[in-house]
Amino acid sequence: MEDIALDAAKKTAARTAVDQWVTEDTKILGIGSGSTVVYAVQRIAERVWKEGELTDLICVPSSYQAHHLILDYNLNLGDLDRNPNIDVAIDGADEVDRHMVLIKGGGGCLLQEKVVASCAKNFIVVADYTKNSIRLGEQWCRGVPIEVAPMAYVPIKLHIEALFGGEASLRMAKVKAGPIVTDNGNFLLDWKFIANREYDWDEVNRAITMIPGVLETGLFVNMAQKCYFGMADGNVKVQNK
C-alpha cells in the first residue's frame, strides 16, 4: 500500500509542476531522470498528443533513461549542442533540505543532470514526501554520490574522508560484476557523511569538486528554484528557494 501511495504522490507532484511551469512560451525543456520524472513526461505527452498543446516543445535529456523516455513518448528530442539555453528543467531528487540543497545521483546520472540543470533559467524539482528533510541525511542514508575518473577513485576516497570525515565507498553493480559504470564511463563513490554534523554544503561541494579526478558531485547547491513534494494526503507541498 505504501508503494501505491508513494507512486500517487510522485504523480501528483510531477503533473502539478508540469502544468505550472511548462507553457506555450516554453520552447526548450530539460528532462531529468528517475521514477518521478516518468510521470512528468507522461503529462507532457498528454498535453502534446491529447490536448494539442506544446507542439514545438523540444526536450533535452539528462541521461540515457531520459533520452529513451522522450523517444518512447514521441516528443521532440534535442541536445545541448543545438539547444544550450533551456527555459525550464524538471528533475527529481533523492533528498531536499530546508535550504533547498539537494542530493542527487542515486540513479547514477548526476553529471549530466547537473549540466542540464545549470543550463536552465528555471530548475524545478519534483519528488514525493519521503525526500523532504530538515537536514540532509535524515531520509536519504546512502550518502552523496560523486562521479570520479576510474583511475583516481582510491585517492579521491581518501582525500574526501580526510577533509570531511565519514566514509566514501565505490558503488558496486547488482547484476554486472564489479563497479557501476556511469553513462559517461566513470565510477561512482557514495560518501556517507557524518550524521548530525553541521556542514556548509556549498563549501563541501566546492572542495570536493576541486579534487583532481572528480567529475561532479551529487550536491546541488543554490540551483533549484522550486520543489514540489507530493504528500501522503494527496496534496502538493511547494518549497521555494
| H-state helical runs in the chain | 2-21, 35-49, 64-72, 110-118, 153-164, 201-209
**What does DSSP assign to residue 152?**
G
Q: Mapping DSSP to helix (H, G, I), strand (E, B) and coil, where does residue 197 land?
A: coil
Place of cell 502534446: 48
Residue 54, sorted as left (phi over 0), alpha (psi -120 to 50) or beta, turns out to be left
Short-list 157, 145, 166, CA closest to 103:
145
Residues annotated as part of the active site: 113
